[in-house]
Structure 1
Amino acid sequence: MYDCGKIAIIGGGSWATAIAKIVVQHTHQLGWYMRREDRIDDFRRLGHNPAYLIGVHFDVNELSFSTDINKIVDTYDTLVFVTPSPYLKNHLKKLKTRIKDKFIITAIKGIVPDENLVCSEYFHQVYDVPYSNLACLGGPSHAEEVALERLSYLTVGCSDNEKAQAFADILTSDYIKTKTSSDVVGIEYASVLKNVYAIAAGICSGLKYGDNFQSVLMSNSIQEMSRFLRTVHPIDRNVDDSVYLGDLLVTGYSNFSRNRVFGTMIGKGYSVKSAQIEMEMIAEGFFGTKCMKEINRHCHVNMPILDAIYNILYERISPQVEIKLLTDSFR
């Protein structure tokens, strides 16, 4: 049976904090890379992340913090990356230590800009990490509900099922159920697209479209996602599984969804910039929309929802006009 060895978290946000809570309850020892020394100092003093999920308390004696990513990579065997996708490259630029022999798990629900690659493909192409050492973490799981120990379901994707199962076993608890999958790329793309569709759901909510229409929007969203996944990664998958459809639904409907909140503000008349400033948190779907639009220029998949959200966010077309055109295309 594969042994994940010593595990470290790369990132300091809410999902990173939630994953750290799950893992350290099993391992009682965890490395943790955070960019800011003052944030680490406050964490040690307070016993919780000073900026995210402040109700989650840790035994800081079980945590080994560092602002030096090379020290973390040198010391730990399994690295769980949970940084916002637009900032991943800046963190990795500091690397002087090779990571190809590490077990890399990406819990980043976004695409690396410029290269327009999902994170596993980026690690493979740029850092020569073999696919057998690359995994992803997906599923309908808001960090806030994990923090409250509400029942959640996670999927660990990896081409090496033994490694996927080993990490799944570490995550499993009374409130976390797990399964494994070999569809790493599909899970990653689905994680990006569901954020785009959650922005769409938020915009429609801000425009006062009701629950009847929202259900049609979600139905069309899963069909659009399925078309794209069949094109870019044509394997046998069931998009009704929780890691695809379940993640889409919770992100599209939940008040914990920052992408839905961001979309709702746009629907109510906020500019993109003012919505981002007021939220004070990153809505991954904003960046994901642009990346997916650029990727689909080569894939030529029929994606009217993606196109509509791109037009609203980047071409400044009126949400009222764009969503009305979109509704006319639905059946």
Structure 2
Amino acid sequence: MEKIAVIGGGSWATALVKILSENHSQIHWWMRSSNDVQHLINYRHNPRYLSGVQFDLNYVKPSTDLKAVVAAADWVILAVPAAFIVEALDDLPKDAFKDKVVVSAIKGMVPKENILVTDYVEKYYHVPNTHQLVIAGPCHAEEVALEKQSYLTIGSHDLATAERFCELLRNRYVKANPLDDLDGIEYCAVMKNIIALACGIARGLNYGDNFQAVMVSNAMFEIERFLDAVMPMHRALNGSAYLGDLLVTAYSQFSRNRTFGNMIGHGYTVKSAQIEMNMVAEGYYAVQSIYELNKILKVDMPITTAVYLILYERISPAVEFEILKDKFK
């Protein structure tokens, strides 16, 4: 029986626990809230997210003891928002992940440091990138809960390790495949949330489907330029880990980044949108990191720049999109 730690109590963490427990792995599940842990023990479901999913407690062991959860596992899945990863892991000793495979299910960047989660884990916990994986979609937690057919891509520098993890994920409604592009997949997952924010803003401003299709097409070129600058290699960006993940996040009703952007387009302030959503839109934090990083790279990124100016410089969304639309072809 494989021993897996899942760090996080949100919807994506809950969906991953569901997927992994299908194959009767031993899941040690860390949640911050002791009330949520007790509720899960008593009633076998997460009270806050995907509450219709029932868990078999023979395989799922919820706990608030992070050190114990990590120590009990061979695989450690990080599934907290990137903005809170430093705080979440802060009590762990620096050798906590020794001889373990760390899997990032986080689609964001560490704020202020402006680095990927895998880079953060390598820098502060000394886990080489050959012992790290990243999970990419297209795959929404809500559809996992409904057992809709879903697809995952596992990025890695070690395809054998990625394939082993894929075997833990595959079940009757999930297909998983390895890909040797850990960094590209992780950066693309960050970028697609920014694009989804832009799509939501456009919808809130009453731009139509024609405009959104053109923006998403232009976004793929923007992502390609960025990836070529930050981590150059040959990539088939029309693959599901890249284009597929972008499309589902840009168009789906379940996309929290698109929802957040839609509220901004309708006139919400950032703070009021965050309060009403009561969920983290990774793109809000990611766009600042990418914008700061691009000051060095100097890549042409009109969509990213527009979203940054709207969210952080308080430029009117209507004014910024009037400028942005003339940059598309």
What TM-score results when the alignment is normalised by the length of structure 1? 0.97
Contact 1:272–1:313 under 8 Å retained in 2:
yes
* Structure 1 letter corresponding to 2:298: H
CA offsets 1:288-318 (integer angstroms, 9 cap, x no match): 1111111111111110000000000000000
- What does residue 316 of structure 2 align with? 318
Trace 1:24-35 onto structure 2 (pairs within 5 A): 24-35=21-32
Contact 2:2–2:25 under 8 Å retained in 1:
no
- What does residue 225 of structure 2 align with? 227
Contact 2:3–2:25 under 8 Å retained in 1:
no
C-alpha displacement of 1:28: 4.3
Contact 2:2–2:26 under 8 Å retained in 1:
no
* Structure 2 letter corresponding to 1:122: Y
* Structure 2 letter corresponding to 1:181: L
**2:74 aligned with 1:77:** yes
Contact 1:30–1:64 under 8 Å retained in 2:
yes
C-alpha displacement of 1:5: 3.6
**2:223 aligned with 1:217:** no
Alignment partners' CA distance in 2, 1:113 and 1:267? 24
**2:214 aligned with 1:189:** no
C-alpha displacement of 1:61: 2.8
**2:141 aligned with 1:133:** no
CA offsets 1:242-297 (integer angstroms, 9 cap, x no match): 11101111100011000000000110111111111111111110001111111111
**2:37 aligned with 1:40:** yes
Contact 1:100–1:130 under 8 Å retained in 2:
no
Counterpart of 2:265 (choices 263, 267, 280) is: 267
Alignment partners' CA distance in 2, 1:135 and 1:114? 23
Give me the CA root mean square deviation.
Answer: 1.0
Counterpart of 1:158 (choices 151, 156, 159) is: 156
Contact 1:81–1:105 under 8 Å retained in 2:
yes
CA offsets 1:200-220 (integer angstroms, 9 cap, x no match): 000000111000111001001
* Structure 1 letter corresponding to 2:325: T
Contact 2:26–2:59 under 8 Å retained in 1:
yes
Contact 2:109–2:289 under 8 Å retained in 1:
yes
Trace 1:40-79 onto structure 2 (pairs within 5 A): 40-79=37-76
| Structure 2: unaligned runs, 5 residues or longer | none
Aligned partner of residue 28 in structure 2, secondary structure: strand
Contact 1:132–1:158 under 8 Å retained in 2:
yes
Alignment partners' CA distance in 1, 2:102 and 2:25? 20
Contact 2:4–2:25 under 8 Å retained in 1:
no
- What does residue 203 of structure 2 align with? 205
C-alpha displacement of 1:187: 0.6
What TM-score results when the alignment is normalised by the length of structure 2? 0.98
Alignment partners' CA distance in 1, 2:140 and 2:124? 30
Runs of 4 or more, structure 1, over 3 Å off, are none
| Structure 1: unaligned runs, 5 residues or longer | none
- What does residue 297 of structure 1 align with? 295
Question: Percent of counterpart pairs with the same letter?
Answer: 48
* Structure 2 letter corresponding to 1:26: N
**2:86 aligned with 1:89:** yes
Contact 1:199–1:264 under 8 Å retained in 2:
yes
Alignment partners' CA distance in 2, 1:261 and 1:314? 18
How many residues are aligned here? 328
C-alpha displacement of 1:326: 0.2
Alignment partners' CA distance in 2, 1:130 and 1:204? 40
Trace 1:94-105 onto structure 2 (pairs within 5 A): 94-96=91-93, 97-105=95-103
1:28–1:6 CA distance, 2 compared to 1 (3 A): closer
